[in-house]
Amino acid sequence: MGNKSTDRQRIILHLDMDSFYASVEVRENSDLKGKPVVIGADPKNGTGRGVVSTCSYEARAFGIRSAMPISQAFVLCPHAVFLPPDFPRYAKASAEVMAILKSHEFPFQQVSIDEAFLDVSAVRNYAEATDLAERIRNDIRTQLALTCSIGIAPTKVVAKIASDINKPDGLTVVEPEKLFSFLAPMPVRKIPGVGRKAEAELFEMGIRMIKDLVESDIQVLIARFGRFAIALQAVTSGIDDDIVKERDRVKSVSRETTFLNDTTDEQVIAATMDALVQEVCRNLSDESLRCRTVTIKVRYHGFVTKTKCRTLLHYTDDEKTLRSCAHSLLRDIFDGRPIRLLGIRLSTFEKHDARQMILNV
């Protein structure tokens, strides 16, 4: 039993960019630095409809918040810089942030344009997880000129709470021993999923802090909140079945081609292989990958198919190296019979480092 719960003890990192849209705008135009910047609908001198998408921390000092009517934001701070959102710009910045996170090769899950989880359980301890977080923060600061906040904790939900409490530019680490003392005094509203309505209902039941929640009768909670009650009460347990779901990774890239007429012409076969190698190499660079395994496939007249693979000593994305490997494999399996189909597959991948990846997005 003891072992089982240790096995399930994970180290989760949650990253959320600071005032994301606004920070990207400030980065693109240094005149905006230090000013209240509001991204959202046109305020039209206070008569505008629509809402605030987000705003810089300088604007937050005036009480402006996401989702607030833009007219109200205008009343709170008429001299703020109001800008319409530029989504392609934010999508590009988001891809750059995610590329840095993914480059660390941990299970990764993006949950919105500016936040993602990494399951970093493979590092030995919280000290190493903290070092990793500092590296990520530094990479984002130096390569992208943006700041983020990171939370590290045994579960996704607590990592998310942690990334939020020292914003902006914060790093908050909640080790398993400190989990309860960290959460106990927090208002229930801090739990992701507890909105204004659930908060009001909990208040009615006399539950204000997470501590009150944990001490309350689970049956009463279930009667009110159904299954959500169990998740609510488990928040301080340090155990959570909600895993960081990796997006499907590219496992291989392949190309094959069928000849119009079966052929024994070695020049045609070699030129076709060169073209296939060129195409899979382009795919590799699109995905910022290097590979170690090259497999070629030859289908002869009569549908007899032969494949042969080789694992290289080093990861590579070099077209010349891959081409010479492909030709050498081809020489091994080409027996002079007419070829109907030729194919190549590259597999066993590693990611480029983040800097190179950014150039590719």
What amino acid positions are annotated as catalytic residues? Answer: 115
Q: Which stretch binds Mg ion (CB under 5 A): 40-48, 109-117, 237-245, 271-279?
A: 109-117
Q: How far is the CB of 154 from ligand TTP (least distance, A)?
A: 22
Q: Judged by CB under 6 A, does residue 17 bind ligand TTP?
A: yes
* From 19, 103, 272, 288, residue interacting with ligand TTP (rule: CB under 6 A): 19
Give the residue ranges of DSSP H helices in the chain: 2-7, 20-28, 57-60, 70-76, 87-102, 126-144, 156-165, 179-183, 196-204, 210-215, 218-225, 228-233, 266-286, 319-333, 354-360
Residue 170: other Cβ atoms inside 10 A: 18
Give the range of 11-19, 134-142, 185-193, 221-229 binding ligand TTP by CB under 6 A.
11-19
Q: Are 232 and 191 in contact (CB under 8 A)?
A: yes
Binds Mg ion (CB under 5 A): choice among 16, 96, 119, 139: 16
Residues within window 84-113 making contact with ligand TTP, judged by CB under 6 A? 113
Is 151 or 343 the residue whose CB approaches ligand TTP more closely? 151
Q: Which residue has the tokens 């801090």?
A: 190
Contact 161, 152 (CB under 8 A): no
* Per-residue H/E/C for 89-144: HHHHHHHHHHHHHHCCCCCEEEEECCEEEEECCCCCCHHHHHHHHHHHHHHHHHHH
Of residues 19-58, which lie at the interface with Mg ion (CB under 5 A)?
20
Number of residues that bind ligand TTP (CB under 6 A): 14
Residue with Cβ nearer ligand TTP (20 or 108): 20
The least distance separating ligand TTP from the CB of residue 112, rounded to whole angstroms, comes to 6
Residue 300 binding partner per list Mg ion, ligand TTP, none, with a CB distance cut-off of 5 to 8 Å that depends on partner kind: none
Considering the rule CB under 6 A, would residue 317 count as an interface residue with ligand TTP? Answer: no
Q: Are 97 and 351 in contact (CB under 8 A)?
A: no
Site for ligand TTP contains 163 (CB under 6 A): no
114 binds Mg ion (CB under 5 A): yes
By CB under 6 A, is residue 334 in contact with ligand TTP? no
Q: Which is nearer to ligand TTP, 69 or 168 (CB)?
A: 168
Residue pointed to by tokens 């939020």: 164
N-terminal to C-terminal alpha carbon distance within the chain: 46
Q: Which is nearer to Mg ion, 21 or 225 (CB)?
A: 21
Considering only 12-20, 262-270, 304-312, 343-351, which stretch makes contact with ligand TTP by CB under 6 A? 12-20
Number of other CB atoms surrounding residue 227 within 10 Å: 8
What is the sign of the dihedral through the CA atoms of 200, 206, 209 and 215?
negative
Nearer to ligand TTP, 114 or 240 (CB): 114
Distance CA 135, CA 127 (A): 13
Binding site for ligand TTP (CB under 6 A): 16-21, 53-54, 66-67, 113-114, 167-168
